[in-house]
Amino acid sequence: MTIDDSPVGVPHMPRIGDPAPAFTAVTTQGEINFPADYAGRWVILFSHPADFTPVCTSEFMTFASMQDQFARYNTDLVGLSVDGLYSHIAWLRTIKEKITYRGMSDVEVTFPLIEDIGMGVATQYGMIMPGEDSTKAVRAVFVIDPRGVIRTIIYYPLSLGRNFDELLRVVKGLQTADHFDVATPADWRPGDPVIVPTAGSCGVAKDRMAEPAESMQCEDWFFCTKEIRADEVEAAIRRS
C-alpha cells in the first residue's frame, strides 16, 4: 500500500522515512511552502491543541526560549494548531505582554505558527486523534531532515507538556548518527559512547571478537561501542 491509498475513513499517518507531506499555509510569519522553504535545514514541525491554554503556553515559552539553541544545530521550529491566525496573533501578544513562567517573561515567539482551521495540515500529518479529541490536535512532533524526510515522530496527549531538552537531544542524536555513521544508545548525550554498526557478516563478527579494534569496546559481536568526545560531536554538528 502506498501512502495515498489508505482505506477510506482511515486517517493518513505519515511514517518515519517518508517524505514530509507538502503543504502551503498561512502563519504568524507569513505564508510558508513546506517543506520546500526549509530545504537544507532540519525542522521540527509540532502541533499543539489550542491557543490560550496553559500547557501550550508553557510549551511555547520554553520552545521560544530555546530557539537559538535549536538554530545552533541548523534546526528551525514551526508550530501548528487548528486555531485561526488572529487567535494566534492575540495569544502570542498575550504571552509576551503578560505571562511569566519558570523565570521566563517578555517572551517573543518569532517562529511561524500555522493557522489550520480546516484541519487540512493536521489531518495530513495524523495530528488529530479522535479518541483523545476530534477537534484539537494532539501534541505531535515531527523532526524532518534537510532532504525533507521525516526522521522522528513523537506524540504526547493533551495533558502532558513536552520535554524540550529531549527534543534537542533527538536533533543532536540524529545529526550525530548521520555524520559518524553510528547509532546512539539509551539516554545518549554528546560525549557518551556510541554504537558501531553491527557486524554484517560472520567474518566481521568473528574478527571483531578475535581482534577487537583498539578504538572499540565489544560486549559481544553485535554490541560494540566507541568513544566520540563531546567536542568532536559538537564540532561536527554545530553551526560555527
- 51-80 residues near ligand BEZ, rule: CB under 6 A: 53-56
56 belongs to the catalytic site: yes
- Decide: is 99 part of the binding site for ligand BEZ (CB under 6 A): no
Active-site hit among 56, 202, 218, 224: 56
- 108-147 residues near ligand BEZ, rule: CB under 6 A: none
- Decide: is 49 part of the binding site for ligand BEZ (CB under 6 A): yes
Shortest reach from residue 143's CB to ligand BEZ, in Å: 21
Query: Measured from the CB atom, is 33 or 135 closer to ligand BEZ?
Result: 135
Query: Is 147 labeled as ligand-binding?
Result: no
Shortest reach from residue 51's CB to ligand BEZ, in Å: 9
- 148-207 residues near ligand BEZ, rule: CB under 6 A: 158-159
- Are residues 154 and 148 in contact, defined by beta-carbon separation less than 8 angstroms? no
Q: Which residues are annotated as a binding site for substrate?
A: 139
**Residues with a known catalytic role:** 56
